[in-house]
Amino acid sequence: MATITIREALNQALKEELARDEKVFLMGEEVAEYDGAYKVTKGLFHEFGGKRVIDTPITELGFAGLGVGAAMAGLRPVIEFMTFNFSILATDQIINSAAKMLYMSGGQFNIPIVFRGPGGSAYQVSSQHSQALESWYAYFPGIKVVMPSTPADAKGLLKSSIRDDDPVIFIEQERMYGNKGEVPDDPDFTIPLGVADVKREGKDVTIVARSLMVPVALKAAEQLEQQGVSCEVIDPRTIRPLDIDTIVESVKKTNRVVVAEESHPLCSVGAEIATEIMERAFDYLDAPVKRVSGADVPMPYAKNLENLAIPDVNRIVAAVKEVAYID
């Protein structure tokens, strides 16, 4: 295994899939000659050429539509949004075309397409560039939604997403591109979609966290371990399909649960997970499900306010102590 960053893991996945399948191509803003706004596509244009790695104008609706058409014709496009905030402009093609085409065509057209790029909070780019949109996309049948939190997950899940015959929303956390971790060297290493991962085993409280909140939850669990509280940390990795069974089994063991996310609380993925737990494991709960979410406000620009808007270790620790009835 090699220790690499999430950025490098994503680059490896794209490079290996471009080499493996000539139907795969990459398209988006600055993905080619500039090597990508976040350098995820570094070197791919020079290795595979301008027919496989394609720079586009700043027209998200346009190149998303081109991607859907290419997928209908049998290709496997990977569409990069410079930020998922810009995908809002392409939602007609993502939701009304990509997600619904298999159903509306009576099974005649699969849409093997990946829409990927950074999402969630960034560093002081304010409210129009720091939005968590996963619950929005997960709402619609026909789309799979993936959110990795480690380099290994990033590589394995992206490769599986590219090989999948359905449209996939693949949201990378902008703040996490430089995070390092071990990644298998096997070029055929993949991680199946719809399978959660237990990032840390514990017996007292389950913490369900995704994307940016996974390392935060792990730090909180380390701190709580020193206080005698054993926390199990579960990363769903995919939001749709959601591996609720793994989460429920953990809750049946620990009898307490905290759901941590950086997104707004109303109509969030955390709200769905909390409801599923209440429906499936109510009799096992020794405390109400506790949610820790981002502030229900547009993301502030000021650094001190931005820090207050995003859940941190202290808030997760406090939530765990609340469900464990610890002062």
Known catalytic residues?
60, 129
Q: Which of 82, 72, 74, 73 is nearest to 27 (CA)?
A: 82
Cβ atoms of 159 and 17 closer than 8 Å: yes
82: helix, strand or coil = coil
Strands 238-240 and 168-173 turn out to be: unpaired
What is the Rg, in whole angstroms, of the alpha carbon atoms belonging to the chain? 20
Q: How far apart (Å, rounded) are the C-alpha atoms in residues 94 and 107?
A: 18
Chain-centre distance for alpha carbon 31: 20
Helix (H) or strand (E) holding 2: strand 2-5
- Residue 140's CB is within 10 A of a number of other CB atoms, namely 18
First and final C-alpha spacing in the chain? 43
- Helices 313-323 and 213-225 cross at an angle (nearest 10°) of 60
Cβ atoms of 320 and 205 closer than 8 Å: yes
* Helix locations, 31-77, DSSP H: 44-48, 60-72
State the Cα torsion 317-218-237-279 to the nearest 10°: -30
Q: Which of 277, 135, 279 is nearest to 211 (CA)?
A: 135
Cβ atoms of 15 and 44 closer than 8 Å: yes
Could you give the C-alpha distances from 320 to 246, 284, 309, in angstroms and in order?
19, 17, 19
